Amino acid sequence: MFLLKRIIIGVCVLLIISSMIFSHPGQAVDAEKRVEEETVISMRISDYQVYLKNHPPLDRLYRQGETCVFLVNSKELKSVRQAGAAILTQESLDSFLKKLPGTDALSRQAGDINGAYHNYNETRTLLQELESRFPSLAQVTNIGYSIEGRELNVIKISDNVSSEEQEPNIFIAGCHHAREWISVEVPLLFAQYLLEQYPDNPEVRRAVNGAQIYIMPLVNPDGLEYSIHTYRMWRKNRRYNGNFSWGVDINRNYGYMWGYDNEGSSPNPWSELYRGAGPFSEPETDAVRRFLLDHPPAGCLSYHNYGQLLLYPWGYTYEPTPDAGEMEMIAIEMSYRIFQVSGRFYEVGSSEALYLTNGGTIDWVYGTFGAPSYTVELPPDSFKEGGFFTSLELINSTFAENLPAMLYFVNYFITEEKKEKTRQNKTRIRKPIVKK
């Protein structure tokens, strides 16, 4: 009888612990951190290409000559060793991060919209304040909820904001990846700039009067909160996948050519590039899908960092799109305008030039609507120069150098010729290139 009681008590304790972990997976921080012990390693590109034949892709930080530097967890490190790939260098993530510039971006400074990083609540509040200050020009809409129940907010900016006009829709998004904090700030500052400068700036007036501009600064609010409060390098959303694995890369979860291969995304829930259980399986991407189907875009900008790149489709294949010439021209014009402000060069190319991706935002937007779409990788140029940790003092200058390019992009679609092409594209679906 005594033994039976001990067994029953033990089972009850296990059930309580299990319920604590699995009903609130985001709170099981210690268990997750033990599994997610992360290390920075480097290996030859030739070895990595061999590794990719039988393993999912790793989280690449940067390339240096014929070697690449990766961020790996304990499982990935074990798989690299078992595959026989030569690890050239290895050090803890903490040690690696201490060497980087921009260390003030390892933490967050709340405050005014200028010169600070914003969490979910602050971003939401600022959007609401803009709507309140400019009620005839701005309208905030909740288009859905994240996996943890946070609102997914879009601010519409237009001269007749409460009406649906026959004008091109421009969609601008930030923070698909949680650790890319600067990608929240550039779209947020653009919204503020458009509204505050509307009375006196002719270029802004043309954009706001001629287009319906939809800005979604924060696509991944759960991931951002986790990156701020728990683990700065977190990338994915906060879905619990089971077996102590968290997160889907929502920029691999869009439906166009989702899961095309295992190089451009990963079927492995442990991977930083995990594409999810199916196309649009995540509430964040499904909300974007439903919103854009109701508001077909003429053009799309999706902000990320780092790399100083202007990338256009396709990402899933090396084959060019039917509109590659036009999209390259737009990107070159944007890059030139950035260079005129800061002297900083943003490289132009199709998305696969960085690395192959499938299930990405811009492939889906272009593939579905025929709309010129871009991933804008903000500064710095490399991880060694700060990577995801853009210093607080560089937030405003990063926005300032991108501002002329953003205004050019919006105004590009306002001509009558482009309006007509936009109307045609809204009924045209791009057929994917079939893998042979």
32 as an active site residue: the answer is no
**Separation of alpha carbons 184 and 121, rounded Å:** 13
- DSSP letter at 313 equals S
> In this structure, which amino acid lies at residue 349?
G
Q: φ and ψ at 31, to 5 degrees?
A: -60, -40
Match 């290139």 to its residue by tokens. Answer: 433
Q: d(Cα 108, Cα 54) in Å, to the nearest integer?
A: 39
Q: How far apart are CA 327 and CA 286, in angstroms?
A: 26
For residue 133, give the 3-state DSSP assignment: helix
Tokens of 89: 């260098």
**Beta strand pairing call for 245-246 and 297-305:** unpaired
Return the C-alpha torsion angle 373, 397, 183, 369, nearest 10.
-10
The residue annotated as part of the active site, out of 32, 225, 328, 377, is 377
Give CA torsion, residues 325, 331, 332, 338, to 10 deg: 170
DSSP string, 24-73: SGGG-HHHHHHHT--EEEEEEHHHHHHHHTTSPPPEEEEEETTEEEEEE-
In DSSP terms, which residues pair with 312 in a beta bridge? 350
The type of residue at 213 is: I
Length of the chain: 436
- Whole-angstrom distance, CA of residue 116 vs CA of residue 174: 16
Query: Any idea which residues carry the catalytic annotation?
Result: 377
